[in-house]
Amino acid sequence: MTSARRSAHQRKVAIASADTEAGMPAVPSEDEIEEAKSPLYVSLLGSALSRGAFTADACSEENIPVQNNPRPLRRLMGDKAEYWVNGSGDLLHMKFVARLDFHGQYSRLGPYFNLFDSGIDVASLRKTRAQFELHFLAPEDEDSGDYPQEALEMSCRVLDTLSALTTDIEDTRNAGIPEAEHPAMSGFELMRWANQGKAKQLAQASAAARSSRAANTSNHGEFLRIRDLHDPDNRYSGLGSLKETKVECPEVRDDKGLLIHPREYGIKLARARFVEVEVYLKLWNIGKSDKDEATERERYGSHNYQLILRRMQLLPSMEYTMARMLAKGKRKASEDLGSPSPVKRPSGITSEDKEMEDL
């Protein structure tokens, strides 16, 4: 699609150059340059320049202090994991653009998410996850012609920051420990969100999940429940009253900004290729196990890094494309107001009259 668009633009320039003087290169007008920018380009650029985007300032030590980071936030998050905070002590959020791979190896967005067994019981509900596989933007991507430099730089900045954070933690916490006894380390997972659903009697929702549920409530008027999910194989039918369990649903919105129901993932997300995401960082420290049947990974413990999805917006987004159209319209109106219309002279005016008027 990019090559076709470029060819069309080249043809337009070539035709225009036929009327120019020999040896003088044709210079495309500002309007031609503007029209050549695709909705994806406009949306990626709009996201990279939007409020909260992961800019150079956002990855500075002032915003992500080394001291006491990550740290437990038990009262806020309701678990024993560690989280990164910003310079103000608030939960650190990272907002960036990425490619969504619906059919990827780690993607779990089907009707039953990461549940592969034929049956579903109470215990399995606690482990249910909707997993989103993301990839950073790269210059070698097929659609890189639609990537503004700002979006590429932001993607690289996020990747470098995540790498630096994990390296710092591993170096600090493994100091003095023989390399053979280092805890296993799994890098940041770029596709995972919190629990898909829980029974009330199993666990209480964390504060982070409550914010996502609040978004669902405001758009649907009520919480989503297990009975609302897509169930083509009737796996939820044997849950009885547990079908009324509230579902902790991430805020995933389509190109028009409308919330996407989990049962629509297989339709709307399967066609999506680019997204804007907002995540927070989480670290699980799994302790050592002295059980005889423990695996090598369990024997030395592990550090599991996760990116927890807070919000996802499909791109191109009407929010960014409409903003560009409005800005372009305001600029055009401003230019029209700033350019005085030529004064029409009466048809009978003479050159002498013209000279007198100039005086």
Is residue 313 predicted with pLDDT exceeding 80?
yes
Residues 332-355 have a mean pLDDT of: 50
Evaluate whether residue 17 is within a structural domain.
yes
Evaluate whether residue 171 is within a structural domain.
yes
- Is the domain of 32 the same as that of 80? no
- Is the domain of 42 the same as that of 28? no
Look up residue 154 and give its two tokens.
């932001």
105 or 67, which is more confident? 67
Evaluate whether residue 247 is within a structural domain.
yes
Least confident of 74-88, 152-166, 244-258, 302-316: 244-258
297 or 327, which is more confident? 297
- Is the domain of 78 the same as that of 25? no
The count of domains in the chain is 2
**Cα 259 to Cα 219: distance, rounded to the nearest angstrom:** 7
- Give the residue numbers spanning the domain of 188: 38-288+295-323
Evaluate whether residue 331 is within a structural domain.
no
Burial class (CB in 10 A: 0-12, 13-18, 19+), 72: middle
- Is the domain of 212 the same as that of 159? yes
- Is the domain of 224 the same as that of 275? yes
Evaluate whether residue 240 is within a structural domain.
yes
Look up residue 125 and give its two tokens.
């509900």
Evaluate whether residue 342 is within a structural domain.
no
Evaluate whether residue 346 is within a structural domain.
no
Is residue 133 predicted with pLDDT exceeding 50?
yes
- Is the domain of 112 the same as that of 17? no
**Buried b vs exposed e over 308-337: b needs ≥16 C-beta within 10 Å?**
bbbbbbbbbbebbbeebeeeeeeeeeeeee
Is residue 153 predicted with pLDDT exceeding 60?
yes
Q: What does the mean pLDDT of the chain come to? A: 74
Residues 204-211 have a mean pLDDT of: 33
Angle formed at CA 206 by CA 317 and CA 135, multiple of 5 degrees: 40
- Is the domain of 222 the same as that of 147? yes
Residues 214-231 have a mean pLDDT of: 60
- Is the domain of 19 the same as that of 42? no
Residues 118-147 have a mean pLDDT of: 81
**Cα 183 to Cα 300: distance, rounded to the nearest angstrom:** 5
Residues 6+ apart with CB under 8 A from 248: 194, 195, 196, 197, 198, 205, 209, 212, 213
- Is the domain of 42 the same as that of 23? no
Is residue 65 predicted with pLDDT exceeding 90?
yes
- On whether the pTM is more than 0.85, the answer is no
Least confident of 174-188, 205-219, 341-355: 205-219
- Is the domain of 15 the same as that of 62? no
- Is the domain of 57 the same as that of 15? no
Is residue 43 predicted with pLDDT exceeding 70?
yes
- Is the domain of 299 the same as that of 156? yes
Evaluate whether residue 343 is within a structural domain.
no
